[in-house]
Amino acid sequence: MVFPLVIGSILGGFAVFFIFLCVFAFSPEFSQLISPLVIAVLKDVGGPVAAGFGGAMAGAGCSYFLQQRTEKANEVKLDFSVVHRSVIHLTAQLNDLFSIKKYNIYPVRDSKIRFLEISKIAISPSVTERVDPRIIDIALSVGDTVTIDTIYLAEARYRACFENFSNRNLVLDEYRATLKAAGVGKSGQHTLCEAFSVVGEGQLIALHNVTEQMIEVLDETLQSLIESLARVSGILDKKYKGTGNLSLKMNTSSGAEYLEKMPSPFFSIESLRECLNRCE
């Protein structure tokens, strides 16, 4: 801001100087007011010096404004690159959990004993790196702090999902090992009462709790990722509205049924306990 002001002031001064020279050259009345020697010095010395210095300053000014324009263009490219990479990053996380819900959880969504029927889930996320932290600066440049909170909440929930998958796998492994040791469920089919007679109330309730918690966190994460994608894509619309630049937007309408929240479980803790007590 200071540099353009200085350049403008100097160039303005040179412009005034040359205007005075022109006035002295074409107006005898004004030239008689100043000593001929002073006028000669101004013309022969001051003029060339001012012209050379003014040209140098004009060149410096043009170079400065050209550099500013180039830096602005590079900033726009960088902003778009960061936002687009963030969109792809969040989409990869969304697709990761979308596939897990579609193939592992959704098929038994309405089952009374879905906490027993959901199979083991892979505990290795396909997205291990974090979202580009430069997205914070871009969001702050448009005063959007909500997007920052939404992104980092979605990322934290994404990691929590795989921790929950791991915890449930451990409980499920323990449950299956107990059944196997008792020779129950070798064909893969057994009733809730048969399972209760072998593993007892504690393991079944624990498996129910960890499964429903896993489902709840998964649904919350999917919604957080969808919201994050919408907000991140909207940052560029806010910052570069009307510039004609295109922002990357992902379509999340396909397979919307798998993104919907799962229905509440058939059993609550109390009703499951009552059901198990009737098995005795």
Amino acid 33: pLDDT: 46
The pTM for the full model equals 0.73
Dist. CA 232–CA 247, nearest whole Å: 10
Residue of 190, 176, 192, 182 whose CA lies nearest to 278: 192
For the chain, give me the number of helices (H) and strands (E)?
10, 0
Residue 279, token pair as written in the block: 């098995």
Confidence at 244, pLDDT banded by 50, 70, 90: very low
Confidence at 37, pLDDT banded by 50, 70, 90: very low
**pLDDT tens-digit readout, 250-264:** 556 667 888 899 999
**DSSP symbol at 43:** I
Weakest-pLDDT range from 19-33, 67-81, 89-103, 121-135: 19-33
Do residues 264 and 109 touch, judged by C-beta distance below 8 A?
A: no
